Amino acid sequence: MNAWVVFLIVLVPILFLLGFIASSDSIITIPPGNVGLLLKSGQATDTVVSPGLHWVPRLRKRMVAAYPSLELAFRAMPDGISASESDSLDRIGQPLRVTLGDRGQATIGYTVRFRLDTTRLRSVHERFGPEGFWNAVRDVSGRALRHRLGESDVGVDDLFGDRRNALEAQIGDAVKEALSEDGMIVTMFMIGDVDLGRTGDVIQSTVRARLELEREQAESGVRMARAKIDAELEPYLATLSDAALRYREVDVWRDLVFSQPERALPAPGRPMMTWANAELPEPPASAEPAEPTDEP
């Protein structure tokens, strides 16, 4: 009798410890902003687990794979942005280099915002896995972008203004349709920075030349008025009157200020050569007085 009592005293704590280990290993926590896909013997099921504490018996070969339920973003950005700056809800990739329909080349950044369709989470898991869906978003969006920009009706001019907005909407619809088949719901597609290389330099030079021409045309009236006034002042300049000199002094000061806008005006009475970083001439040394001598 005593032997059975000792056996039970030893057995009960052991069974309690084993049960505690098994139960604690079967309790899982799904963090907020995520859902869990129930796996049975390594195979995905159609059961989706909501955030919180859940009992999943390990002895029945069940486990849970966590997937984000919030809105995610894939951003194709320039090389200056490192991929290490991305987090669990935001991934950064390289911009896409494409050939347009008019044979021009461009490097295009873009953003795809999406979320996983929880009703098709089993298909996403079987095809891509918990991390592979990011690659699917990158490849599908890049393919849609290349196909549309490579069509014959797309050129450099379509990347500006209203044409760009229409092109962005068309590509967004194509990306949305393609990713919906893979179990992802696209909420936004946006074309980002566009680098046209040497073609962009030519465009900027053309724009600058047009604006400079408009400026010259706007200033032509001012120059004609100045020339007329100078012609009227010609008789006074011959006699070097104070009024003519003061008029020319105002013009000189105005031109000097506009030519160096980052510099402050000199204080009244300060020599202009000092303001212009020029060295003032040193005053001539005064002659030392001769020492008196005792000679008569």
Helix, strand, coil shares of the chain, percent, nearest 5, are 50, 25, 25
CB 251 within 8 A of CB 229: no
Angle at 173 between CA 169 and CA 178, to 5 degrees: 150
Asked if the model's pLDDT at residue 268 lies above 60, the reply is no
Q: What is the pLDDT of residue 47?
A: 83
Query: In Å, what is the CA distance from 237 to each residue of 41, 65, 229, 231?
Result: 103, 92, 12, 10
CB 94 within 8 A of CB 76: yes
pLDDT digits (tens, 9 = 90+) for 207-255: 889 888 888 888 777 777 777 776 776 666 666 556 555 666 666 777 7
What residues does each domain of the chain span? 23-68, 72-196, 201-262
Average pLDDT, the chain: 77
Of 277, 240, 234, 236, residue with least CA distance to 256: 277
pTM of the model: 0.64
- The first and second tokens of residue 116, run together, are 């996983």
Architecture label for domain 72-196: 2-Layer Sandwich (3.30)
CB 137 within 8 A of CB 96: no
Higher local confidence (pLDDT), 117 or 250: 117
Q: How confident is the model at residue 7 (pLDDT cuts 50, 70, 90)?
A: low
Of 12, 21, 89, 29, residue with least CA distance to 58: 21
End-to-end CA distance of the chain: 151
Run of H or E residues at 48: strand 43-49
- The first and second tokens of residue 240, run together, are 């070097």
pLDDT digits (tens, 9 = 90+) for 136-152: 999 999 999 999 999 99
Q: For residues 68 and 88, what is the distance between their CA atoms, to the nearest angstrom?
A: 8
